[in-house]
Amino acid sequence: MKRAHLLLVLVNFVYISVSPSYSATISEREILLRFKDSISDDPYNSLASWVSDGDLCNSFNGVACNPQGFVDKIVLWNTSLAGTLSPRLSGLRFIRVLTLFGNRFTGNLPVDYSKLQTLWTINVSSNAFSGPIPEFIGELSSLRFLDLSKNGFAGEIPASLFKFCYKAKFVSLSHNYLSGSIPDSIVNCNNLQGFDFSYNSLNGVLPSRICDIPVLEYISVRNNLLSGDVSGEIPKCQRLSHVDLGSNSFRGFAPFEVIRFENIAYVNVSWNRFGGEIEDVVDCGESLEFLDASSNELTGKIPAGLMGCKSLKLLDLESNKLNGSFPGGIGKMERLSVIRLGDNSIDGEVPREIGSLEFLQVLNLRNLNLIGEVPEDISNCRVLLELDVSGNDLEGEIPKKLLNLTNLEILDLHGNRLNGSIPPELGSLSRIQFLDLSQNLLSGPVPSSLGNLNSLTHFNLSYNNLSGVIPLVPKMQAFGSSAFSNNPFLCGVPLATPCSSRGATAKPRNSKALSISVIIVIIAAAVILFGVCLVLALNLRARKRRKDEEIVTVETTPLASSINSSGVIIGKLVLFSKNLPSKYEDWEAGTKALLDKENIIGMGSIGSVYRASFEGGVSIAVKKLETLGRIRNQEEFEQEIGRLGGLQHPNLSTFQGYYFSSTMQLILSEFVPNGSLYDNLHLRIYPGTSSSHGNTDLNWHRRFQIALGTAKAISFLHDDCKPAVLHLNVKSSNILLDEKYEAKLSDYGLEKFLPVLDSFGLTKKFHNAVGYIAPELAQQSLRASEKCDVYSYGVVLLELVTGRKPVESPSENQVLILRDYVRDSLESGSASDCFDRRLREFEENELIQVMKLGLLCTSENPLKRPSMTEVVQVLESIRNGFGSS
């Protein structure tokens, strides 16, 4: 009997030994099931078919086998799997493709994967991996494609990554937190066709022999800290089809020679320090579609040869020092969809031939020296979305044929000398969101048809010669008096001047024009009236101060240096509050504090924040701007801050004034003594702090009041301000706490000041706190809305309840995303495990209801998120005991 049993075992052993595919299949099935066991969340049941009795090669979703029956590929992309990678995958000795793009894996790639010498492709893009880039990847000599982009990898790029890269064709490390320089060892990759290291913090220069790689076609190092002169190296890469050097600190001459390359399709050298002239283009590459050299220091004229780039779709030379007139032939560039030439010194007329560009979507010619008229031919550009010719010297009437531009969303004609009346036909452009006709010589009535523009978010007719009664149309009235101000013959709501006082409606308007003599009389009377009013105003102001808030210009020397030889800051200082010192001498001592790093109290997305103190115990917060974002000049700066200076709410940190010079810009705000919510929740800097991080004085009652106060502030910005004010940077570090721990929301309405690269991407500084960003902000096809603020506020709610940061790393190979952590705890019935352990004396149900509200606010779909008004209502019902479920 024993012998028979032994024989059976022996037979089985021999059978298994001579059936390698069967043995491997059993082993590999177990490996994949172990991989499945390491998955903590599979929201779409992508691995439901991975069962012990399933057909590995035919029924396991995302798995493919080679002809011998071994696993060849694992492709699980956009499945939102969460967990860590199982080291057991290293047992798949014949796998060539590992694609896990678009999931939520954390930790890092296990070092055991160094055994996967057969791998051709590793794609783990768009996950939550962290830590250094694994050096063992450089040992995988068969690797052709490596994509580690859109993760949390940090540290330097190891030189060993390119140790055995002879077969590598493409490497992407973009959208991580990498620092240091690009290793020279990358030139070892003789077959490398492209690399993407964009959106990191890499510094230094490009490797000097980068173009020794003979087949290199694709270079992207956008949005780093790279510097140096590339004019001698990049043109050596004769096979380039895509080169993106944008948003770095490169200097010297831009490598415009690449424009003539046979395969070149995309050239971006924007937001650098390139200077000199654009060399004439003799032979433009037939494939060139994208040329962006904006925001540099380029000089000279636009070369006529550039008009020979017939395949070009985007031409962006904005914000340089270009001069001369438009070269002829732009109308022959039939495929152009974007033209941006604004903020230069280009003169001449707007070329009529632009009207032949039937695919044109964006025409930006702002702040040039253009003369003549707005050509009617532009109305032939039927798919035009943006028309901006503001800040020029254009004359004539607004073309009535603009009504043909039915897709138009932005029409900016302000700052010209346009005359005539506003065409009522503009009211038929139903998609218009931005309409600015201010600072012209327009006359006649305001057409009531403009009230049909239901999508408007910006509307301005100020500083013209408009007359008559402002139509009582809610859409127009909502923009307030500033949209109609400085039109001497305009009356009615929302202006303070009633029509009866000026007789604007008393006289019939039978004639089309007033006689010259009448016009002279009116102008003379207006000048006299203005003079009388001015003298009267000055006398009244000399007698007494107004009781309400007043604007004080302390010093106006806008062309001077920001800091003179004595270290004193000079420029234009405007104050919104009478409670601040109004003498220059008082500010001299206070502003010197800006030079003292000991007075820094915070760092934000747009600059550093200092505390400036004056005699009498008055303190303010001074934000020293590092960027002006999309703010183009002093006038726009003052307009934006002036608009915010009038906002008053108990839970807003009020703007106190501003300072502007050519080299320094400051925003003055209310100083709030108890720091930020972030500081109180997470840092050991306040009295009474326990052994854990944070301020133990921040009990649940105070936290709830902070949540409610912040919600009321955002609701005020969204619903009570016309047009609505978006914050787009709501986070705990922008919620300040006063001496009673009441919330004061700061940095609101500064969207235009946030650093922006261009219309095609956001800089990483747009949000310097990971975890608060609404998912739609990363999708270029979607616009920012109030629901983005709702999402960020929801994260703050969860932060208040749990005491945790939005994203934490409890251990070296673990990343905790607060929203997912709270949701999982609620679904598993262990909600109390989320509560901040420092909290005492609270009602558990109240915390749970706030957590549920936070999850609702952070819904992936913006349409499912409540409005901030609804959030306030829910919070008040919770506090009143009506939120129980």
- Residue-range domain boundaries for the chain: 514-544, 549-671, 674-885
The predicted model gives 459-479 an average pLDDT of: 92
CB 853 within 8 A of CB 843: no
The predicted model gives 469-476 an average pLDDT of: 90
Report phi then psi at 153, rounded to 5.
Answer: -60, 140
| Alpha-carbon distance values, 758 to 150, 270, 628, 784, 866 (Å) | 20, 9, 14, 15, 31
CA distance 773 to 858: 10
pLDDT digits (tens, 9 = 90+) for 150-159: 999 999 999 9
CA distance 419 to 415: 12
Nearest residue to 254 (alpha-carbon basis) of 196, 209, 293: 293
CA distance 766 to 442: 38
Per-residue confidence band for 63, with pLDDT thresholds at 50, 70 and 90: very high
Does the predicted TM-score (pTM) go above 0.85? no
Secondary structure of 389-415 as H, E, C letters: CCCCCCECECCHHHHHCCCCCEEECCC
- CATH homologous superfamily of 549-671: Phosphorylase Kinase; domain 1 (3.30.200.20)
CB 77 within 8 A of CB 104: no
pLDDT digits (tens, 9 = 90+) for 363-381: 999 999 999 999 999 999 9
Report phi then psi at 527, rounded to 5.
Answer: -65, -45
DSSP reduced 3-state for 353: helix
The pLDDT value given to residue 749: 85
pLDDT digits (tens, 9 = 90+) for 579-623: 676 555 555 555 555 556 667 777 766 777 888 877 667 788 888
CA distance 85 to 333: 51
Per-residue confidence band for 508, with pLDDT thresholds at 50, 70 and 90: very low
Per-residue confidence band for 500, with pLDDT thresholds at 50, 70 and 90: low
> Could you write out the DSSP letters of every residue in 419-480?
BSBPPGGGGG-TT--EEE--SS--EEPPPGGGGG-TT-SEEE--SSEEEEEPP--HHHHTT-
The pLDDT value given to residue 558: 34
**674-885 has which CATH code?**
1.10.510.10
CB 262 within 8 A of CB 285: yes
